[in-house]
């Protein structure tokens, strides 16, 4: 190594050290990105795939499911079991029992794609905990829907449309 | 009774006891809270908050850690050299405590002002390496022995440029008395050795060491290496050697090694402050000493501010650079630091001789 390149090595190396120090100092003063997990949780993204759940129709406050069992047939691992009954005076069947075997579910989403009524969706539940196996191989989605319904309030009646639309004011 | 208390020998003994307690408390608290600062720093440099669970902002974390260490059993594994294994942690801490005795934290705040203080600090500072070496050797553990071998070679390599720098500083200041060295740097930051070495504003001519910032840099690098701090922590390279020489240590004997390490960092940064950054002198022209007790207090605060700024740099460096390889470490010392420090030494000698001849 020539003397010149040796000097270049030393000064170049020292400069790179200073650049490294500047970068870390820059990070030092930036916002902290840690989420303090049990006290703070992240909002799950739109496309997050938790176990499936029945959709609560915001207008009727009931499930949209008609127990057509298309999801049951679409499921590659046969982990869905739907049963329905025709209620008095109703045109279609409605779901009475919806069991999901989450232990074999691979979250492929075929059931959701198969559903013609948009009655099932992926939930945003990610911290799924249970004390026994039964909590997962017979997840009762109808019961979960009943729990969800407690927080449901019927939407306010739509306001009557004004008789004559307002003229936009001249600027 | 009062007369007896005011007599000279009693005052000296009292002063010694007060300083002994104060220094041990200072070292203990410093070690505890520097660990917290280290962990906080590590977090902040990686955009994490660091410890926050114990106490407000994690401030009680060191106390929890200390309690945990004290509650643990000190295990002496079979086959170790029991005596050496037990005295090595104390041997690590005691020299660092001895160094702190003579460091002037303020115009009146020092344990004992010795007229060879500089010599004393560096002679005791060199003992710390024996502690790690003996601890590693006595452990009867291959990792510990490798670590012991490494630390000897590393310290031999870095002691030389360190002492060459100290000799240069001694030639510049003309004294080994730390209080005098600080006294020479009174009256503003342009009088601190790091700048006064280049141009002496008081006398209006060239200073004694034109490469003073380089000298400071060499001192700082050697200080990092001597205290086994990253990127020179070859002795405790946890990804290669488990915990190096401390592998077999548990509980508070391990804690003592840790305290000694942090005490050494405090000593190193204090010496850098005294030698280069004007000790307890204020950076603007005012002389705080003339304000009496308040002035002394301001001086101590200034000293601590400079020292902790250096310690922050040490932490900053640790969390920026990866650990060097061993040959890189030795190359840096033998090929770069030693020649450079020799050049500064020769230049300083030449300048001083020229001035004397004229």
Q: Do B44 and A24 touch (CB under 8 A)?
A: no
Computed over every residue of chain B, the mean pLDDT equals 84
- Torsion on CA atoms B174, B179, B184, B190, rounded to nearest 10: 120
Which site among A1, A25, A28, A35 would you substitute to test the B interface, given the most B Cβ atoms closer than 10 Å to its Cβ?
A28
Cβ atoms A46, A85 nearer than 8 A: no
pTM of the entire predicted model? 0.78
Q: Do B49 and A24 touch (CB under 8 A)?
A: no
Q: Do B321 and A20 touch (CB under 8 A)?
A: yes
Q: Which residue of B has its CA nearest to A10?
A: B336
Count interface pairs A-B at CB distance under 8 A: 34
Q: Do B316 and A21 touch (CB under 8 A)?
A: yes
Secondary structure element (H or E) that encloses residue A139, with its range: strand A139-140
Q: How far is B220 from chain A (nearest CA, A)?
A: 14
Task: Tell whether the model's pLDDT for residue B227 goes beyond 60.
Answer: yes
Cα three-residue angle A147-A109-A65, rounded to 5 degrees:
45
Q: Name which of A10, A23, A34 is nearest B49 (Cβ-Cβ).
A: A34
Give the model's pLDDT for residue A171.
Answer: 52
Give the model's pLDDT for residue B290.
Answer: 65
The mean per-residue pLDDT over the stretch B133-146 comes to 86
The mean per-residue pLDDT over the stretch B250-266 comes to 86
Three-state DSSP at A54 gives strand
Cβ-in-10-Å burial (0-12, 13-18, 19+) of B219 comes to buried
Give the model's pLDDT for residue B29.
Answer: 86
Give the model's pLDDT for residue B313.
Answer: 92
Q: How far is B54 from chain A (nearest CA, A)?
A: 14
Q: What is the DSSP string of A83-126?
A: EEEEPTT-SSEEEEEEEE-TTT-----HHHHH-TT--EEE----
Q: Name which of A10, A24, A33 is nearest B319 (Cβ-Cβ).
A: A24
Domain range annotation of chain B: 1-71, 79-357
* CA end-to-end distance (rounded Å), chain B: 60
Q: How far is A118 from chain B (nearest CA, A)?
A: 42
Q: Does A30 touch chain B (CB under 8 A)?
A: yes
The mean per-residue pLDDT over the stretch A61-74 comes to 85
Query: Could you tell me which residues come within 8 angstroms of residue A25 by beta carbon, excluding any fewer than 6 positions away?
Result: B316
> Which residue, among B62, B59, B56, B51, has the nearest Cα to B259 in the 3D structure?
B62
Query: Could you tell me which residues come within 8 angstroms of residue B257 by beta carbon, excluding any fewer than 6 positions away?
Result: B88, B89, B92, B131, B132, B135, B245, B246, B249
Residue B11: alpha-carbon gap to chain centroid: 29
pLDDT tens digits for A94-150? 888 888 888 898 889 899 999 888 888 888 888 888 888 888 888 888 888 888 888
Q: Does A3 touch chain B (CB under 8 A)?
A: no
Token digits for B86? Answer: 């037990």
Q: Does A39 touch chain B (CB under 8 A)?
A: no
Q: Does A24 touch chain B (CB under 8 A)?
A: yes
Which site among B37, B43, B46 would you substitute to test the A interface, given the most A Cβ atoms closer than 10 Å to its Cβ?
B46
Three-state DSSP at A49 gives coil
- Plot region of A109 (φ>0 → left; ψ -120 to 50 → alpha; else → beta): left
> Which residue, among A128, A120, A127, has the nearest Cα to A102 in the 3D structure?
A128
**Domains of chain A, earliest start first:** 52-149 (3.30.70.3270)
Q: Do B45 and A24 touch (CB under 8 A)?
A: yes
Contacts of A30 in chain B (CB under 8 A): 47
Contacts of B52 in chain A (CB under 8 A): 36
Q: Does A27 touch chain B (CB under 8 A)?
A: yes
In this structure, how many other beta carbons lie within 10 angstroms of the beta carbon of residue B94?
Answer: 18
Gyration radius (Cα) of chain B, Å: 21
pLDDT tens digits for B167-183? 998 888 888 888 888 88
Contacts of B317 in chain A (CB under 8 A): 21
Residue A19: band (very low, low, confident or very high) from pLDDT cuts 50, 70, 90: very high
Contacts of A23 in chain B (CB under 8 A): 320
Give the model's pLDDT for residue A65.
Answer: 85
pLDDT tens digits for B298-335? 888 888 899 999 999 999 998 888 888 888 888 888 88
Give the model's pLDDT for residue B311.
Answer: 92
């Amino acid at each position: 190594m020539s003397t010149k390149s040796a000097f270049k090595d030393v000064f170049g190396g020292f400069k790179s050290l200073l650049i490294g120090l500047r970068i870390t100092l820059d990070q030092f003063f930036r916002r902290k990105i840690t989420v303090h997990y049990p006290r703070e949780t992240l909002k799950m993204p739109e496309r997050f795939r938790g176990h499936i759940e029945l959709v609560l129709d915001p207008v009727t406050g009931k499930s949209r499911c008609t127990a057509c069992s298309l999801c049951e047939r679409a499921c590659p691992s046969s982990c869905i079991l739907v049963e329905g009954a025709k209620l008095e005076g109703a045109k279609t069947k409605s779901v009475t029992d919806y069991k999901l075997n989450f232990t074999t579910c691979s979250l492929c989403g075929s059931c959701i794609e198969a559903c013609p009524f948009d009655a099932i969706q992926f939930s945003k539940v990610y911290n799924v905990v249970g004390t026994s196996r039964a909590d997962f191989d017979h997840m009762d989605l109808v019961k979960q829907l009943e729990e969800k319904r407690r927080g449901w309030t019927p939407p306010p009646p739509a306001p009557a449309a004004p008789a004559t639309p307002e003229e936009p004011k001249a600027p | 009774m009062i007369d007896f208390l005011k007599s000279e020998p009693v005052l000296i003994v009292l002063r010694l006891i007060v300083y002994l307690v104060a220094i041990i408390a200072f070292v203990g608290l410093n070690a505890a809270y520097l660990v917290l600062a280290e962990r906080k720093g590590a977090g902040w440099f990686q955009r994490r908050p660091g410890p926050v669970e114990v106490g407000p902002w994690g401030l009680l974390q060191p106390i929890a850690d200390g309690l945990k260490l004290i509650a643990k059993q000190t295990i002496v594994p079979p086959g170790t050299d029991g005596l050496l294994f037990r005295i090595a942690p104390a041997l690590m801490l005691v020299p660092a405590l001895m160094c702190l005795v003579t460091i002037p934290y303020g115009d009146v705040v020092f344990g004992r002002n010795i007229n060879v203080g500089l010599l004393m600090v560096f002679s005791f500072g060199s003992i710390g390496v024996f502690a790690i070496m003996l601890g590693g050797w006595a452990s009867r553990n291959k990792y510990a022995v490798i670590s012991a071998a490494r630390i000897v070679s590393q310290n031999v390599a870095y002691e030389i440029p360190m002492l060459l720098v100290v000799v240069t500083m001694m030639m510049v200041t003309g004294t080994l008395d730390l209080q005098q060295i600080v006294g020479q740097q009174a009256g503003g930051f342009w009088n601190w050795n790091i700048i006064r070495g280049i141009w002496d504003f008081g006398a209006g001519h060239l200073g004694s060491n034109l490469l003073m910032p380089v000298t400071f840099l060499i001192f700082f690098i050697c200080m990092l290496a001597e205290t086994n701090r990253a990127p020179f922590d070859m002795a405790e390279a946890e990804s290669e050697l488990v915990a190096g020489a401390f592998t077999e240590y548990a509980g508070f004997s391990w804690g003592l090694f840790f305290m000694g390490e942090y005490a050494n960092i405090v000593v190193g940064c204090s010496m850098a402050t005294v030698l280069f950054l004007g000790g307890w002198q204020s950076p603007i022209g005012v002389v705080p000493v003339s304000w009496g007790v308040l002035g002394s207090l301001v001086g101590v605060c200034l000293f601590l501010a400079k020292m902790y700024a250096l310690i922050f740099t040490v932490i900053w460096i640790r969390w920026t650079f990866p650990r060097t390889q061993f040959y890189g470490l030795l190359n840096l010392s033998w090929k770069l630091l030693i020649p450079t420090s020799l050049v500064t030494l020769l230049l300083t000698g030449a300048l001083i001789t020229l001035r004397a001849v004229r």
